[in-house]
Chain A
């Protein structure tokens, strides 16, 4: 059996459709990491999408598939699977043919805002925990690492005293 691949799983029964995961993703992937700068001066784009159908809501993003359609479709090799299992697009090689965009059955690849490049979930390489997982107020997203399921960063030692 393959080792488990890192990915973000949605938990439908906890998702309340607030879209804060989208906000967090957009901030994380804008040139500014500040929320106001990102939205007023950047090109905010989220790689996770909250799907809504009545009371059913969940945040869907790239499955980092074992056999990714997007990688297979990519004509330049820009879209590829890293040894750790993440499916990543190398922007400098991407020619913007968007074969990956049309081939992904989850709609997880999108044209990058304002550029002829593909853009998708990269599992936030600069962060300990993907932005969407950490921003979700209701634990509706879980980070499945090779070791286990993580909802939030470990708390520092339990405090006997809390600030008043």
Chain B
């Protein structure tokens, strides 16, 4: 089209059935990428496909079902090596130079280890349990567990626990909403996650953009983050929370910092993050006071001091090649929880090349970290949270069987409230009202509806997890933790199975 680079080809087709279009204008009003517009003389609505990002908002909203948004799959001559995305990326960079930005999580065709793991079930010799008839426990304690329990007897001869138990989080379902900052998300989404976590007896995580004052009332189910930018970190912020988390890295962009552009820093975000309105919120790549495990220990204990040793402190890292040794260091530095964020983890904005090719899968990270900590005899010092690409309740069960204590869900939570993974979060124009701070577009996310949908999702997963535990003959999720014998691998190499610590399908115990 006119005024466009010769090498820009539309990625989506917007097919409008004019026999069904009643020209109500809804699609025009809802398209936040200005792709759809009204032709007054023709009395017709049309779409400039060059601008369409494939968010499917118009398709979802059209009252007569007149719209179909489809990805163009045959835009270039078929080539198994130079696929369309590769070609387009080269065109884009040749046009403009610069780094290609994206949102969301790694969507490349790497092996999905979850899909190569199968769950065991009881037959004949070991009875399964019916979760609808018998109690089934999903409650999970997150934090340091003592090496041993000491009991003493009081004057009446009754046993009393002598060991002081470290503070633990108690989650009624081992699924926690992942850190996604206020700024990247809008306040409506934070409200929804907080309300849903509260209702379900689990937790949500603020991400690095601090906690809005209105949400202090949810402190008891909130994990607050302390990241390299230290946005909005205050004694009160730490005290109001259930736990604090030091964010070292993010699965979608290990080793790089964050950047919330100044345009997005409005009055409320500025107050919450404690930075001036309109200034860029820059998170340095490393914490400039953490260059070693000893430095990390100092920050962990600074937070523990500030919170009177009443709250667990978590450390979140991206899953990278040396993850097991790093995790061991983190455990020894005094963390109570370690979060491993795999390379499928999402982001509001990241260079695509980093999102797609840096880091390792969380399945592997959990397995090697759990193994390493067990070998060193310090597995009980920390809880492990698996993050980055948890898609359903089976992934949760498998993560726990591989050695995690709980999981974070970010992308799944966004999907639950409407996200279509268009990966345009970094534009701030999210048509579903999730990753936008434009006051008008953000209204599209009604926090009440969003909270209900998140609660439904967790309820559905909880039912399914109980079903799966029951069929394995287990009545408490804690008994599944690290029980890799209940998993079998299919289609993996010997090395992969060794690393994951699972036997091949067909091999009994």
Q: A residues touching B (Cβ–Cβ < 8 Å)?
A: 13-20, 22-24, 35-36, 39-40, 44, 54-55, 57, 135, 137-140, 160, 162
Contact = CB atoms under 8 A, between A and B. Distances in A.
A12 to B, nearest CB: 9
A14 B446 contact: yes
Given A23-B63, A35-B64, A17 B440 contact: yes
Given A16-B440, A16-B443, A36-B64, A162 B460 contact: yes
A23 B446 contact: no
Band of interface residues on B: 20 to 34
Contacts of A18: 26, 29-30, 61
A19 B446 contact: no
Given A16-B443, A139-B446, A139-B448, A23 B20 contact: no
A139 B440 contact: no
Given A55-B439, A137-B61, A19 B433 contact: no
Contact of B63 (A17, A20, A57, A140): A20
A23 B443 contact: no
A18 B441 CA distance: 11
Contacts of A54: 440
A160 B456 CA distance: 11
Interface in B439-497: 439-441, 443-444, 446, 448-449, 460, 463
B24 A23 contact: yes
B22 A16 contact: no
Interface string B180-201: 0000000000000000000000
Nearest to B66: A36
A54 to B, nearest CB: 7
Nearest to B63: A23
The residue in A22, A138, A139, A140 that gathers the most chain B C-beta atoms within 10 A of its C-beta is A138
Nearest to B57: A18
B4 to A, nearest CB: 29
26 contacts: A14-B446, A15-B443, A16-B440, A16-B443, A16-B444, A17-B440, A20-B26, A22-B24, A23-B24, A23-B26, A24-B63, A35-B64, A36-B64, A39-B22, A39-B23, A40-B22, A44-B22, A54-B440, A55-B438, A55-B440, A57-B440, A135-B63, A138-B449, A139-B446, A160-B463, A162-B460
B443 A55 contact: yes
B25 interface: yes
Nearest to A24: B63
The 4 closest A-B pairs by CB, nearest first: A39-B22, A55-B440, A55-B439, A16-B444
